[in-house]
Amino acid sequence: MQQNPQEQLSHKLNLSRSQIKNWETDRYQPDIDTLVSIASFFNVSVDVLIGFKNDFDDEPLQELLSNVQTTYTALNEHQRERFCKQVSVLIDMLEDNQDIF
């Protein structure tokens, strides 16, 4: 039998179905750590999860940032450090020579 998203979320994040129901009915709100876990489960940012609408809506950039976040979370600690250093180098290159494109 296939689980619905609520059951999958409940199982994956070790939450009771009543907790999820209380959030859905606005009886209670999840804490920030739980929001982060839920956002990760649905592969969206917390901003999207809570309905925050950014005035800067650059879809290609948002897709890239989502891919970066997904990639980063899949890395171990050592890989994350290297990843951050590489991204920092790219940012520095862009800041130093903005006409490289």
What predicted TM-score, i.e. pTM, was given to this entire model? Answer: 0.49
More confident residue, 97 or 36: 36
- Within a domain: 101: no
Both 44 and 66 in one domain: the answer is no
Domain count, the chain: 2
CA-nearest of 53, 50, 48, 83 to 66 is 48
Contact 20, 6 (CB under 8 A): yes
Alpha-carbon span 40 to 49, nearest angstrom: 10
Both 46 and 71 in one domain: the answer is no
Both 13 and 46 in one domain: the answer is yes
Predicted pLDDT of residue 86:
92
Both 12 and 41 in one domain: the answer is yes
Predicted pLDDT of residue 55:
62
Both 63 and 44 in one domain: the answer is no
Both 46 and 63 in one domain: the answer is no
